[in-house]
Amino acid sequence: MSRGTQALVLDFGGVISRTLFETHALTEEALSLPRGTLTWRGPFDIASDPLWRDMQADKISERDYWMARTREVGSLVGERWDRMETFVQRARGADPEAAIRPEAIAAIDAARRAGCRLAILSNELDLFYGADFRKRLPFMAAFDVVVDATHTGILKPDARAYRQCIEQLGLSADACVFVDDQLRNIVGAERVGMRTVHFDVMHPGASYARALGLLGVASSLD
């Protein structure tokens, strides 16, 4: 299969951007909270985060998880936050690029140079980050397709979400390498025939190297 007939399909939160778990210190500084206020660590310390365990067990959705954290952090600063983008925008401050993984930029550039197509398949890109967030990120211009459940209403791991992305790319499912940090979303992609990499937020370079390797693209990320 030639590179020009393949695509790298990426989740956004956790895969392209660093997770809010990784940036607690920055969040506390931005919100004038005492260091160490935020203790939930999601996949970085599952024992510290019962709500994350509920999400992994499908007792609540990923969106439910982040809405709960949004309201919790809002209350810590004496405000009522009912929109997830409020949390992200306040936590990220005026420099959204600071939250982007350098490994993601390197992988996007490598795939594009090799002639691969690029897509984002997200459950909450605009909902979570705000409608103008992606406009402030120059690398977003490299993507051929962006499918965001904020607008489609179809959340991964629903098979229709993946198929919509595949159809917009104009490729077969097995021509696409899908990268996501949530195992249930990886399982959903495999069910429709996509090749997959379960992204390890603790080893982003190695995860991107595996994805590029499936596309036949050389990488020094690992």
CA distances from 163 to 60, 78, 182 (A): 24, 43, 18
Residue numbers of the chain with a pLDDT score lower than 50: none
Task: Give pLDDT, residue 63.
Answer: 81
Read off the pTM.
0.85
What tens digit of pLDDT does each residue of 131-190 get?
A: 777 888 899 999 999 999 999 999 999 999 999 999 999 999 999 999 999 999 999 999
CA neighbor of 91 nearest in space, from 23, 150, 12, 41: 23
At the top level of CATH, which class does the domain 3-18+100-214 belong to? alpha beta
* 210: helix, strand or coil: helix
Q: What gap in Å lies between CA 24 and CA 18, rounded to an integer? A: 11
Domain residue limits, the chain: 3-18+100-214, 24-96
Q: What gap in Å lies between CA 36 and CA 178, rounded to an integer? A: 35
Task: Give pLDDT, residue 15.
Answer: 97
Task: Give pLDDT, residue 130.
Answer: 74
Q: Are 126 and 148 in contact (CB under 8 A)?
A: yes
Task: Give pLDDT, residue 73.
Answer: 98
Q: Name the phi and psi angles at 65, rounded to 5.
A: -60, -50
